[in-house]
């Protein structure tokens, strides 16, 4: 016996060759001036999206925009008024990706109030501001995909990164809550959790050959990621391939969290 539901599914025809295409969608990538943000902007554009490259450094944003025929937009996430104003200035946004973060490596007892405030403001409060600012118009239109970059430090800690870890864990909770609240309006909200990536934020560690090698050895692939290796996750979450994916944390860490703390016994 064929039910109405069965007939509806039978009549659906998905063009799998276009599952990851983003044609006709407008994406805003915050942090597009460098690193993961830049590569994500390039990848979304390559899949058909019209991309606005946003960054606090307008020159670097403009350089990325020039490479893809997109628009550049100056946005400092520490400027709350600017974040609130951005959706009205940018118009309808189908995909929002934000990557900026900062870190100060200190033992908990050694952090200054100013250092704590800086990490909290950019890594957590700015996420809250973006969710409010862009989530509302997306919900009103009944569509949208929001993708925030968190970190494996949200679930596995390291001495000297306590505040960063706490804010990234809080960011995951915010994103998942937004997914629950915006889901009825067909707005999806997800997180991407990288492991160690060769970006400007990790320049200090990369310059220390001993530390660089130690971090590389912590994951299954035995190496650091390059920024472009995070872009597939962003394209996926932005596209119809992830139409039923929300409130998820997509870990892209080379297997770090699966084998964290491994011990290789001698032969």
Domain membership flag for residue 73: yes
pTM recorded for the entire structure: 0.93
Contacts of the segment 242-245: beta carbons below 8 A, 24+ positions apart: 242/145, 242/188, 242/190, 243/188, 245/188, 245/190
Domain membership flag for residue 212: no
Which domain CATH number covers 104? 3.40.50.720
Candidate from 56-60, 119-123, 180-184, 196-200 with smallest mean pLDDT: 196-200
State residue 66's pLDDT score: 98
Domain membership flag for residue 60: yes
Domain membership flag for residue 258: no
State residue 205's pLDDT score: 86
Domain membership flag for residue 81: yes
Domain membership flag for residue 3: no
Which sequence positions are flagged as catalytic?
Answer: 164
Segment 216-231 mean pLDDT = 95
- Answer with the residue of higher pLDDT: 241 or 205: 241
Domain membership flag for residue 257: no
Domain membership flag for residue 239: yes
Residue 148's domain spans which residues?
22-198+227-252
Distance CA 247, CA 176 (A): 5
Total of domains in the chain? 1
């Amino acid at each position: 016996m064929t039910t109405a539901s069965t007939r509806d599914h039978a009549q659906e025809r998905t063009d799998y060759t276009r599952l990851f295409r983003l044609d006709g969608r407008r994406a805003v990538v915050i942090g597009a001036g460098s690193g993961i943000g830049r590569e994500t902007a390039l990848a979304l554009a390559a899949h058909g999206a019209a991309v606005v490259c946003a960054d606090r450094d307008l020159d670097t944003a403009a350089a990325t925009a020039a490479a893809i025929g997109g628009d550049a937009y100056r946005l400092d996430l520490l400027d709350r008024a600017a974040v609130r104003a951005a959706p009205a200035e940018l118009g309808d946004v189908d995909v929002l990706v934000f990557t900026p973060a900062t870190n100060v490596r200190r033992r908990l007892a050694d952090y200054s109030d100013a250092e704590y405030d800086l990490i909290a403001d950019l890594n957590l409060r700015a996420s809250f501001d973006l969710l409010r600012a862009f989530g509302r118009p997306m919900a009103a239109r009944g569509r949208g995909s929001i993708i925030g970059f968190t970190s494996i430090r949200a679930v596995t800690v390291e001495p000297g990164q306590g505040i960063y870890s706490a804010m990234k864990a809080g960011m995951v909770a915010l994103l998942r809550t937004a997914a629950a609240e915006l889901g009825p309006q067909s707005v999806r909200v997800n997180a991407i959790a990288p492991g160690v990536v060769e970006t400007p934020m990790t320049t200090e560690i990369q310059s220390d050959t001993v530390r660089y090698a130690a971090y590389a050895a912590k994951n299954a692939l035995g190496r650091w990621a390059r920024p472009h290796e995070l872009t597939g996750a962003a394209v996926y979450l932005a596209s119809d391939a992830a139409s039923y994916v929300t409130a998820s944390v997509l870990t892209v860490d080379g297997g770090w969290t699966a084998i964290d703390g491994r011990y290789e016994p001698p032969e």
